[in-house]
Amino acid sequence: MMKLKIRVLVLIWIGGISTSIAQTNLQQLQSNFVDLRFGAMLHFNMGTFTDEEWASPNHDPKQFNPTKLDCNQWAKACKAAGMTYGILTTKHHDGFCLWDSKYTDYDVANSSVKKDVVAEYVKAFRDQGLKPCLYFSVWDRHNGIENGGLKQEELVMNQLTELLTQYGEIPLIIFDGWNWKMGHRLIDFQKIYNHIKKLQPNCLVAEHNGNSPLQTDIIYYEGPKGVYPPGNNNYPSQMALTLTNGWFWHPGAEKQVKSLDYILDKLQRVVPLYCNFMVNIGPNRDGLFDEEVVARLKAVGASWKPDLTRLPLPKQSAALTSYIRAKGIEASAGQVFIEPAGPAGDGSPVAELLSQKTASVMIDGISDIVGDQGGFAAFQTYWKFASEKNNSLLLDLGVSQNISKFYYLPVQLKGYNGLITRYELSVSEDNEKFQQVKSDNWNKTSDLKMATFSPVKARYIKLKILSSIGEAMVSEVGAGN
């Protein structure tokens, strides 16, 4: 029988003209991305003009005033360094937008320059043969996106529609202020992910999670927080380190440009690990790279060339493409742990997440363990089972539906402690008659664990813990396809 290959075409509007884009499979997209190897993360926003890393949310928009803005200078300097892509902060945690968004007045349309910075950046980078990617903070303190909710999700989706329909093909969008701030449950991950893939099926989604491929296409390791790819990393990933004294430009930054050897060392260490290296650059208040930055990038380009003999990205293991948002969860005796403990402060996750007492901590959407020297400590939430036999958990999906995968994220930064090493999975539609669908071992690592089984219709999934290293500990669990 002849097999037909189906290509999905999506129309994207660029300047009023529709263009079709053929959908590429995820493995190929990931492989193409890590072959980019070297890029720039560009932190340029309200904090540039207020000397803040996390700008306050209610500054006068007119303070944003880059009178000599020249994205062509950025692009040429990045090209000279041998970079192949950039990521621009379209909106940071304060909510100021570098494009004219009809969903807020806190944007460039009300600034002193009234220029669409996103448009100028995208055009300049494309003109130099560089791929323009975008950064977007879900956490938006100006517009009240702090604790999640349907109205908040709607605003996020509306602004993403603007960014993904007005500027042509965007290879990747990276989110911040989501996983570690309010979690992927309060702002639903799958809803946002599906929306992006509907608008641009080839747009990769990355998150500031830095610990696993859970709910991200590309892992992001945040270098300034001490998060580097492990020496055996085979996940498609990227990491960034700042070129000067912060993510954003600050007075005196031109005197703190890191050395050529510093950048070359990181390229040699990171890129062989299927992890793109990004130099974070903060354009100054004129809207330009400092002369010292331009000179350093030129020196990098003269000294570094990509090693094209690196083997292709290894085939990635089975991953979920659709995550089912569980209605609830029950578990045998245990205790909630939240690290760090204590009340929510500025930048910390919402108080609701810090006051959890039940097994629902395993489906709260918080799986981030990235430390932040400038804000809060490494943050994670998990359930620690009591010291007894026959420990188990029961996941309720709300309604019966088809499932074929179950995932378990071990607690991070604990070594082998708490790892579930042998398990049994069974499913039910009525919570009375259960059918076993899997029984197997999990290896002794803190990597995301996946159990794949023949598709089955079920509402309830029971995980029976047959053996663990010490008392079993679970950060996140879930199901999907």
62-76 pLDDT tens trace:
999 999 999 999 999
Peptide bond into 283 cis (omega under 30): no
**Mean pLDDT lowest for which of 130-139, 187-196, 254-263, 362-371?**
362-371
423-441 pLDDT tens trace:
999 999 999 999 999 999 9
Q: Hey, is 56 helix, strand or coil? A: coil
Q: Take residue 84 and report the two structure tokens written for it.
A: 């192949």
**pLDDT of 77 above 90:** yes
CATH superfamily of 9-303: Glycosidases (3.20.20.80)
Residues of the chain with CATH 3.20.20.80: 9-303
Question: Identity (one letter) of the amino acid at 203?
Answer: C
Cα-Cα-Cα-Cα dihedral sign, residues 336, 340, 341, 343: negative
The string of DSSP codes covering 351-411 is HHHHT--SGGGGGSS-------TTS----EEEEEE-S-SS-EEEEEEEEEEEEEEEEEEEP
What's the whole-model pTM score?
Answer: 0.93
113-140 pLDDT tens trace:
999 999 999 999 999 999 999 999 999 9
Q: Hey, is 467 helix, strand or coil? A: strand
**Residue 7: its pLDDT value, please?**
39
Q: Is the Cβ–Cβ distance between 178 and 139 less than 8 Å?
A: yes
8-27 pLDDT tens trace:
444 444 443 344 567 889 99
CATH superfamily of 323-480: Galactose-binding domain-like (2.60.120.260)
Residues of the chain with CATH 2.60.120.260: 323-480
